[in-house]
Amino acid sequence: MAYEVTATRRRPKTFDELAGQEFVSSTLKSSLEQERIAHAYLFSGPRGCGKTSAARILARALNCEKGPTANPCGLCPACLEISRGASLDVIEIDGASNTSVNDVRQIKDEVLFPPNSGKYKVYIIDEVHMLSNSAFNALLKTIEEPPPYIIFIFATTELHKVPATIKSRCQQFAFKSIPVETIQNMLRETCAEIDVQAEDEALFWIAREATGSMRDAYTLFDQIVSFSGGQIRSSQIREKFGLVGLEELNALAGACADNDPAGAFAVIDRLLEAGVAIEQFVTDLAGYYRSLLLIKAGITRESLLGYSPGRFSAAALEKLSLAQLEEAVFMLLGVYRDLRYSLSPRFELETAVSKLCWLDRWISPRELRAAVDSLRSALGPAAAAPETPETGAGRAAPGNSGFMDRPGAFTEGFKQVLAHKTDDRREAIPEEAETVRRLFRGTVVK
């Protein structure tokens, strides 16, 4: 028997098997049970979430010998023909390659003929947003008042490109991205079916990489099964795909938290020598610091973090504030954008890691403003000393020499920098910051 890919073999055949789309399934089942069948449906949502599968299930439910029914038998001739794609009463059309008005005119001519053997003639038009404006206009009257035996089911990944005149004539169903946990459970069931052993961490990685698409998850799963030898392990996936493991990321983050550039560069060199792509390195590093940011914010859900919170670097979590972790993620995202035009991607990565090594000394604009307010409150009139040619930058004007007489007050005010933590990194630096710079440059240093 010919090999069948998992995405095809595991394609749902009933509404109950439609993973992650409970609202769509329950609504369609209720409408079939009450025989409230619309003449046109519009399924929208991201790729691989079950739109075409739902359309085929609906076609079977309508033309099943027991139908219309919410639970097609899957055994009658009509169900079997639809499953094989051989039914004369269920016509699937690729909207991307049948875009002209002439293609739609052919449909208008065909709808005049009743179904061959089933109760309904069902037209499934995939990627319907690819039709031309003329083709959409030609469809308007047909889908508004079709013969009673005609059902239209449109599927699209770009709902905003479908004209409002078409949307208003259809019952619309918005398909959601499938949750990571659901995809992981489906992959676990697939492993049991084909007798493959898999680590939960490996299945979680596949589910996360699928980004809500069940088809993408099955495609990646098939690829991994091909080289896994019946044992899917996370270490094997990292080796074959050139990923950075959590242990290496912990070592790098620990070196950065200890202000150890030499140790951090050694980790980079070791991983790049092992064949890890720089783009993948930056991606994994950004995801790691994002996880630290979420943990620092109180998030402990493993499906968001990728691992249990206890497996991340305790030194980095203890030493870095919420604002500093946000700055790390923001910086690494910028590095990824810059890699495309960089003179040397490795230089970009090493510069970013060097910055991470002194990240614990980075102060956000909001923290700086809090420090300014504390200093001004502690120093009184001295903090507002104007800069003049006579007094020089940051020196107290005559009559305001109390600042030099109160160094303890300055120190106490400056220590409060770390007491005002915030995550508002994007707030513009206030003009009071110039006061602090003048104080440092003119009074403290001199």
Q: What is the pLDDT of residues 398-436, one digit of tens each?
A: 444 444 444 454 455 554 444 444 444 444 444 445 555
Amino acid letter, 182: T
Q: What is the mean pLDDT of residues 257-267?
A: 91
Furthest-apart CA pair in the chain: how many Å?
102
Cα–Cα distance measured from residue 432 to residue 12, given in angstroms and rounded to the nearest whole number: 63
**3-class DSSP state for residue 163?**
coil
Tokens linked to 24: 């769509």
Closest by CA position to 285, among listed 322, 238, 250, 323: 250
Q: What is the mean pLDDT of the chain?
A: 82
The whole-number average pLDDT for the span 265-277 is 90
**Among 129-133, 288-292, 363-367, the range of highest mean pLDDT:** 288-292
pLDDT at 1: 59
Tokens of 186: 């489906």
How far is it, in rounded angstroms, from Cα 295 to Cα 305? 8
Sorted by where each starts, the structural domains of the chain and their CATH numbers stand as 6-174 (3.40.50.300), 180-241 (1.10.8.60), 246-361 (1.20.272.10), 365-444 (no CATH)
pLDDT > 70? residue 357: yes
Residue 354 structure tokens: 């060097």
Q: Which pLDDT value is given to residue 291?
A: 92
Taking only the tens place, the pLDDT of each residue in 135-145 is 888 888 888 88
The pLDDT value recorded for residue 421 is 42
H or E element, residue 254 = helix 246-257
Work out the average pLDDT over 235-245: 85
**Among residues 411, 416, 410, 351, which one has the least CA distance to residue 380?**
410
Q: What is the pLDDT of residue 251?
A: 92
Q: pTM for the complete prediction?
A: 0.73
Which pLDDT belongs to residue 235? 85
What pLDDT score does 107 carry?
85
Tokens linked to 89: 């009463």
Q: Strand, coil or helix: what is 121?
A: strand
State pLDDT tens for residues 296-314.
Answer: 999 888 878 878 888 898 8
* Cα–Cα distance measured from residue 70 to residue 144, given in angstroms and rounded to the nearest whole number: 25
CA 348 to CA 253: how far, in whole Å? 17
pLDDT (mean) for 167-191:
92
Integer-rounded Cα Rg, in Å, for the chain is 31
Q: What pLDDT is recorded for position 348?
A: 92
The yes-or-no verdict on residue 335 having pLDDT over 90 is yes
pLDDT of residue 444: 41
pLDDT at 269 > cutoff 80: yes
Query: Can you give the pLDDT at residue 223?
Result: 92
CB under 8 Å to 203, separation ≥6 — which residues? Answer: 184, 187, 188, 191, 232
Confidence of residue 356 (pLDDT cuts 50, 70, 90): very high
Residue 120 has pLDDT above 60, yes or no: yes
Instruction: Give the angle 356-304-182 at the CA atoms, nearest 5°.
Output: 150
The pLDDT assigned to 380 comes to 61
Among 143-147, 184-188, 236-240, which range has the highest average pLDDT?
Answer: 184-188
Confidence (pLDDT) at 401: 43
Is residue 370 scored above 80 in pLDDT?
A: no
Q: Considering only 37-46, 319-328, 386-395, which range has the smallest mean pLDDT?
A: 386-395
**Percent of the chain, pLDDT > 90?**
36
Mean predicted confidence (pLDDT) in 19-40:
91
Rounded mean pLDDT of 259-269?
92
Q: Are 285 and 255 in contact (CB under 8 A)?
A: no
Task: Check whether 50 has a pLDDT greater than 60.
Answer: yes
Counting residues of the chain whose pLDDT is more than 70, the rounded percentage is 84
Alpha helices in 320-426 (DSSP H): 322-338, 345-357, 365-379, 407-415
pLDDT at 266 over 50: yes
C-beta neighbour count of 31 within 10 angstroms: 18
Question: Residue 119 pLDDT > 50, yes or no?
Answer: yes
- Two structure tokens written together for 390: 């006579």
Residue 442 has pLDDT above 50, yes or no: no
**Which whole number is the average pLDDT over 203-207?**
91
Residue 443 binned pLDDT confidence (cut-offs 50, 70, 90)? very low
Q: What pLDDT is stored for residue 99 in this prediction?
A: 74
**pLDDT reported for residue 332:** 94
**Model confidence at 354: pLDDT above 90:** yes
